[in-house]
Amino acid sequence: MSNLAEQIREALSMFARNGTAPALIGGLAVVAHQVVRATKDVDFLVEAEAADRVHDALLDLGYQCPYRSEDAANYVRAAEGLDLLYAHRPLARRLLAKASERETPMGRMRIISVEGLIGFKLQAFVNDATRTRDLDDIRALLKIHRASLNMDEVREYFALFNKPELLNELLG
Partner 1 sequence: MNCSDNTEVNAESALNCADAPAVLAREAGVPFQPPIGSVSGIDPIAEWLSLMEVVQMLCPVWPVRDKPMQGSHWRL
Q: Applying CB under 8 A, does 71 fall inside the site for partner 1?
A: yes
Q: Which amino acid is at 77?
A: R
**Measured from the CB of residue 81, what is the shortest distance to partner 1 in angstroms?**
4
Distance, CA of 161 to CA of 171 (rounded, Å): 17
**Measured from the CB of residue 127, what is the shortest distance to partner 1 in angstroms?**
2
Residue 93 contacts residue 84 (beta carbons within 8 Å): no
Torsion sign across C-alpha atoms 48, 119, 122, 41? positive
# of chain residues touching partner 1 (CB under 8 A): 45
Residue 42 falls in which region: left (phi positive, over 0), alpha (psi -120 to 50) or beta: beta
Which one of 14, 57, 61, 81 is in contact with partner 1 (CB under 8 A)? 81
Residues that bind partner 1 (CB under 8 A): 2-5, 28, 31-40, 66-67, 69, 71-72, 74, 76, 79-81, 83, 89, 91-92, 95, 104-106, 119-120, 123, 126-128, 140, 144-145, 157, 160-161
